[in-house]
Amino acid sequence: MNPYQRQSSPVTATGAHNLDPHLHRYAARATGMTASEVRALFAVASRPEVVSLAGGMPNLAALPLDSLSGEIADLVARDGMTALQYGSAHGVPALREQICEVMALEGVYGHPDDLVVTVGSQMALDLVTRIFCDPGDVVLAEGPSYVGALGTFAAYQAEVVHVAMDAEGLVPESLRQAIVAARRAGQRVKFLYTIPNFHNPAGTTLAVARRVEILDICARHGVLVVEDNPYGLLGFDGQTYPALRSMDLDNVIYLGSFSKTFASGLRVGWALAPHAVREKLVLAAEAAALCPPTLNQMIVSRYLTTHDWRGQIKSFQQTYRERRDAMLSALTQYMPAGCEWTDPDGGFFVWLTVPDGVDTKAMLPRAVTARVAYVSGTGFYANGQGNRQMRLSFCYPTPERIHEGVRRLAGVLEGEIDLYRTFGPTSRKSATGPQTPSPNTE
C-alpha cells in the first residue's frame, strides 16, 4: 500500500456504511444504470463446459481470415498515415458511399452526406436518445425489446412504454393506443424504437402490410421512428424486406451495423437521418468520441472493395439457417408440453415461452448448474415482465452443441414443472401482461 495514498471513508453522513464512497456524488441518471442480464451471464456462459444459448455473438468461422490479415497489413503499410490518424466525426467518405450501396439492398437510398458513422449502432442509438430525450420523456418500444436499447433509454432517464407484439410483429392498434394514453397522461412521446426484421429477442418479422400503417400512425401523431436493422440481410431464404426508411424519408432514422454481416469486433455502425438531424448527430458524436476509429472504418471499406461481401452474406445466411433448423428440431424433440416458441425466418434468436408457474429468471442458476445458459425474458422488458420467457440464441454454437444444449435445458425445465405440480409456485408469480404469441406449440 502506498503510505501517501489517502483512504476514502466508506461511512456516509448518516453514519451508515457504504462500499462506494462516491455514491453521493453520482448524477441522478446513474441510479438506473445496471448491468444487463446478458453481460452478467457472460463469465459463466463462456466456460467451455457450458452450452451457451445466451449471447448473440456472430459466427466468424466463415470469414476469410487469411486474406483479411494480408489486406489489413497492406492497408497499414500503404495508408497507415491516414488509417492511424484522427478522422472526421462524420466518418470516412469512401465508407459512407459504400454503406449507401449496402442499404440499397433493402430499398434504402440515402446520400452519403446524411450518414454518420458510429462505434457500432449502439453508439448511434445513444446519440439519437441524447439529442431527443429529456428525463421523463416516453420512448415506445416493442415488448420485448433489445436489452442494449433499454439500457440506453434508462441512462437518459426516458420512460419506456412497451407496445404489444404478435407473430407478425408490432401491433398497429396497440401502438395507436399507447400514443393516445401517453398524451392523455401529459407525457411527451419522442420516438418509436423498433427492430422490424428478425427481431431481437422475439425472432419475429414485422408484416409488410403493417409497415405502412405503423408509419402512418407515427406521422399522424408526430412521433419519430427509429429503425434498428442489424439483421435485415440475414434472411434464411435470401429474402429482404422493405425498410421503414424506404417508405418514409422524413420521419425515420435508420440504424445499421457491420457487426452481424462482417465483424462485430470492429464496432462500425451508422445512422442515416434527415439532414437537420444528421448535423445534430455529428455534433453529439464529436462530444462523445471525437471521431470513430479511422483504421476500423478503412478495414471495412477495404473488405467491401476487395471481397465478395454479398457472397459472404449468403454464406452467413446458410450457416444461421442450419443452426436455426437444429434449434427448432431440438425444441420439437425435447421440450415438454405447454412450451411455445417463435419460428424466425432470419436473424439469431428464438423466443421461448414456458408453462405457467415456471420462472425463467429463478430457474437460470439451476440451468447453469446443468451446464446450459440462456437469457431470461425479464432482461428484455423495462417493466418487470418476461418471467415466463427466455431468449435462445442459435448463431454461435454448432448444430451439435445446440442440440445438446436444448436437451439439457429441457431436462431442467421438466424438473421445474414437476416441482410446481408437486409443491405449487415456489417463486414470485410470473409477470402478467401482453406477451409475444408464438406459432409453434409442442
Contact 38/54 with Cβ under 8 angstroms? yes
Instruction: Please give the grid coordinates belonging to residue 356.
Output: 405457467
Nearest 5°: CA angle at 143, between 138 and 149? 60
Cα-Cα-Cα-Cα dihedral sign, residues 375, 261, 170, 350: negative
**Spatial separation of the C-alpha atoms in residues 53 and 395, rounded to whole Å:** 9
User: In the prediction, which pLDDT does 433 show?
Assistant: 39
Cβ neighbours, 10 Å, residue 325: 14
Residue carrying C-alpha cell 436518445: 129
**Inter-CA distances, 62 with 39, 68, 186, 431, Å:** 25, 12, 52, 40
Contact 41/375 with Cβ under 8 angstroms? yes
From first to last of its 442 residues, the chain has per-residue pLDDT tens of: 565 665 555 555 555 566 888 887 888 777 766 666 666 666 666 678 899 999 889 999 889 999 999 999 999 999 999 999 999 999 999 999 999 999 999 999 999 999 999 999 999 999 999 999 999 999 999 999 999 999 999 999 999 999 999 999 999 999 999 999 999 999 999 999 999 999 999 999 999 999 999 999 999 999 999 999 999 999 999 889 999 999 999 999 999 999 999 999 999 999 999 999 999 999 999 999 999 999 999 999 999 999 999 999 999 999 999 999 999 999 999 999 999 999 999 999 999 999 999 999 999 999 999 999 999 999 999 998 999 999 999 999 999 999 999 999 999 999 999 888 888 765 444 333 334 444 343 4
**Spatial separation of the C-alpha atoms in residues 416 and 422, rounded to whole Å:** 10
Topology (CATH) of 88-306: Aspartate Aminotransferase; domain 2 (3.40.640)
**Spatial separation of the C-alpha atoms in residues 165 and 182, rounded to whole Å:** 18
Q: Are strands 159-166 and 224-228 parallel, antiparallel or unpaired?
A: unpaired
DSSP code of residue 16: -
Would you list the domain boundaries of the chain? 37-62+311-441, 88-306
User: In the prediction, which pLDDT does 14 show?
Assistant: 53
DSSP code of residue 275: H
Q: To which H or E segment does residue 165 belong? A: strand 159-166
Does domain 37-62+311-441 bear CATH number 3.40.47.10? no
Please name the residue ranges forming H helices in 90-171.
Answer: 93-104, 120-132, 147-155
> pTM for the whole thing?
0.90
Please name the residue ranges forming H helices in 166-247.
Answer: 172-184, 208-220, 244-247
| Phi and psi torsions of 213, nearest 5° | -65, -40
Instruction: Please give the grid coordinates belonging to residue 281.
Output: 448527430
Phi-psi region of 384 (alpha: psi -120 to 50; beta: other; left: phi over 0): left
Residue carrying C-alpha cell 428464438: 350
**Spatial separation of the C-alpha atoms in residues 126 and 271, rounded to whole Å:** 11
Instruction: Please give the grid coordinates belonging to residue 190.
Output: 419522442
- 194 SS3 class: strand
User: What is the arrangement of strands in the sheet containing 340-341, beginning at the earlier edge strand?
Assistant: 375-376, 389-393, 349-353, 340-341, 440-441
Instruction: Please give the grid coordinates belonging to residue 345.
Output: 425466418
**Inter-CA distances, 167 with 198, 238, 240, 328, Å:** 11, 20, 18, 16
DSSP bridge partners of 392: 350
| Phi and psi torsions of 26, nearest 5° | -65, 150
Cα-Cα-Cα-Cα dihedral sign, residues 332, 333, 334, 338: positive
Contact 314/373 with Cβ under 8 angstroms? no
Residue carrying C-alpha cell 415456489: 426
DSSP code of residue 17: B
Cβ neighbours, 10 Å, residue 154: 18
DSSP bridge partners of 271: 116, 255
